[in-house]
């Protein structure tokens, strides 16, 4: 049995907060197209973070999110205007937490808990406050401080530096396999929340633990 971590660091989007909780609003704006739009929007959002990191052309996550929304609407030929843009961008500050999140975090309160996210600080602060989860976390860390996105190793080093905890004593929790693999490659102990039953990404590393929801996490960390 591995030693209990001294800190647990969580990805935000897709791990604590359901990015596809925007589907209802998307369906309201474009009936019958919500799920398709949400999926393409999220796919391009991630692609743009990786591409901008490789290009050395950082823009914060709010701009990336807006650019990927604009692309998705164009690709799906959905009429797009300032009103719809504002509604959907605001929805990213009110994403729903997954149902098990609050209870799971409550069972982990003996540990130092933090968020480490691609999100821009203003987006993250609003999202965490609106969710009512702010009191659960000792720190909310953003890649904006470094101007590069996950899975760049220096992003995971940020958690080490800011929390004052060595890498092997940090547990990192993400629903994105590529993120969990990136953290494992760096040296963090990783927990992949595989809600969709997907295979492990073939990147040469595997997460230490695979769970189906955050409800399983407290028993694993002891």
Which residue, 56, 61, 130, 45, is CA-closest to 96? 130
End-to-end C-alpha distance for the chain, whole angstroms = 10
Of the residues 11, 18, 144, 179, which is catalytic?
11
- Residue 104 tokens, joined: 């799971």
For the question of residue 90 being annotated catalytic, the response is: no
* Number of neighbours of residue 185 by Cβ within 10 angstroms: 15
- CA–CA distance, 150 with 129 (Å, rounded to integer): 23
Provide the CB-side half-sphere exposure for 2 (13 A, CA).
Answer: 16
CB 221 within 8 A of CB 4: yes
Q: Which positions are annotated as active-site residues?
A: 11
């Amino acid at each position: 049995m591995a030693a209990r971590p001294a800190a647990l660091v969580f990805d935000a989007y897709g791990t604590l907060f359901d990015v596809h909780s925007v589907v209802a609003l998307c369906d309201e704006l474009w009936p019958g197209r919500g799920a398709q739009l949400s999926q393409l929007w999220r796919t391009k959002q991630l692609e743009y973070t990786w591409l901008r990191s490789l290009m050395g052309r950082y823009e914060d996550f709010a701009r990336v999110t807006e650019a990927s929304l604009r692309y998705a609407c164009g690709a799906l030929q959905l009429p797009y205007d300032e009103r719809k843009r504002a509604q959907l961008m605001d929805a990213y500050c009110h994403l729903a937490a997954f149902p098990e999140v609050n209870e799971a975090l409550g069972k982990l309160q003996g540990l130092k808990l933090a968020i480490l996210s691609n999100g821009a600080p203003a987006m993250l602060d609003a999202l965490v406050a609106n969710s009512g989860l702010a009191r659960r976390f000792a720190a909310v860390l953003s890649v904006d401080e470094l101007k590069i996105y996950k899975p760049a190793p220096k992003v995971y080093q940020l958690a080490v530096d800011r929390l004052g905890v060595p890498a092997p004593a940090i547990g990192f929790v993400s629903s994105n396999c590529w993120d969990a693999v990136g953290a494992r490659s760096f040296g963090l102990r990783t927990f992949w929340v595989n809600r969709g039953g997907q295979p492990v990404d073939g990147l040469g590393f595997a997460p230490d633990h695979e769970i189906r929801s955050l409800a399983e996490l407290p028993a694993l960390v002891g």
